[in-house]
A and B are shown apart, each in its own frame.
Chain A
C-alpha cells in the first residue's frame, strides 16, 4: 500500500513541471501540451484522494476533467492552426496583436 501523500507530492511535482514548461517554452503547441500535463497532475491528485477517502466521486471528476481536456484540445488546436496560418509562425512572441 503506497501512502497517499506520495501520490500528492508526485502530483505537485508534475504540476510544477507543467508550470515550468508553460513559462519556458516558446512554441505554442508545447505550451498547450504543458497545460495538458498540469491537468494530468490534478487528475492524479483526484484519484489519490478518491482512494484515500474510499469514495468514487474523485474518479467521476477525473472523467469530467478528461472530457473538458478533450474539448479544450479540439478548440485550442483549431486556434493554433488559425494562428499558424495567419502568422506563418508558432512562436508565441510573434503573436503580439494586443501589445502596444
Chain B
C-alpha cells in the first residue's frame, strides 16, 4: 500500500468515527468537539488532494470561526444532555434503515459514475493557490462580490434576531 492511500484511510477513518461520535454523544459539547475532529480530518484530505488554500480556509473558518461560534452558543445557553421521547425513538427506528439506504444508493451511484470522471481526468500538476486566486478574482468576481452582500444581510439578520425587544 502506498503512502497517500495509507494517509487517506487514516484520515477517512478519523472523519467517519468523528461523524459517528457526533451521533452517539448525548451532550452537544461532545458532538461539537467530534465535528471539529471531522473538519480537521477533511482539511488533511484537502491537503492530500493538493488543495492547500481550501485546507487552510477549512481550518481557519470552519474549525476556527464557525465551531467557536457553536461552542460559544452551547456555553451561553448552558445546553444539557438531550432528552428522548417515544416519538424520537420511532424516528430512529424508521430513520436508520432509510438513511443507510440513502448512503448505499449515493455510494453506489457515485462509484458507478466515476468511470466517466476517470476518463476525463488529465494528468498534470495540481494548480497552486495563485491559479485559484486568478480564477476567483477574474472568472468568479461577480459571485464573489455578491457574497459580501450575503454576509452583510446575515450580519443584519443576526443582530435583529439577537437583540432584546424594547420594553
A complexed with B:
yes
Please give the residue numbers on chain A whose beta carbons come within 8 Å of chain B beta carbons, in ascending order: 1-21, 23-27, 29-30, 32-34, 36-37, 40, 43-45, 47-54, 56-57, 59-60, 62-64, 66-75, 77-82, 84, 90-91, 93
Question: Main SS of chain A's interface residues?
Answer: helix
Tell me which residues across on chain A come within 8 A of B83, comparing CB atoms: 26, 91
Q: Point out the residue from A7, A36, A77 that lies within 8 Å of B45, measured CB to CB.
A: A7
Q: Point out the residue from B51, B62, B88, B132 that lies within 8 Å of A51, measured CB to CB.
A: B51
Q: A56, B70: Cβ atoms under 8 Å?
A: no
Q: B15, A30: Cβ atoms under 8 Å?
A: no
Q: A24, B70: Cβ atoms under 8 Å?
A: no
| Chain B, 33-84, CB within 8 A of any chain A CB | 35, 38-39, 42, 45-46, 48-51, 53-54, 57-58, 61-62, 65-66, 69-70, 73-74, 76-77, 79, 82-84
Q: A63, B57: Cβ atoms under 8 Å?
A: yes
Taken residue by residue from 76 to 108, chain B's Cβ proximity to chain A (1 for < 8 Å, 0 otherwise) reads as 110100111101100110011011101100110
Interface pairs (27), CB distance under 8 Å: A7-B45, A12-B103, A12-B107, A14-B38, A17-B22, A17-B103, A20-B95, A21-B19, A24-B91, A33-B31, A33-B70, A40-B42, A40-B62, A43-B54, A43-B58, A44-B42, A52-B120, A53-B121, A60-B140, A62-B54, A66-B61, A70-B61, A74-B158, A77-B73, A79-B161, A81-B77, A90-B77
6 new A-B pairs (CB below 8 Å) besides A37-B35, A50-B51?
Answer: A10-B15, A15-B106, A23-B99, A60-B135, A75-B154, A78-B158
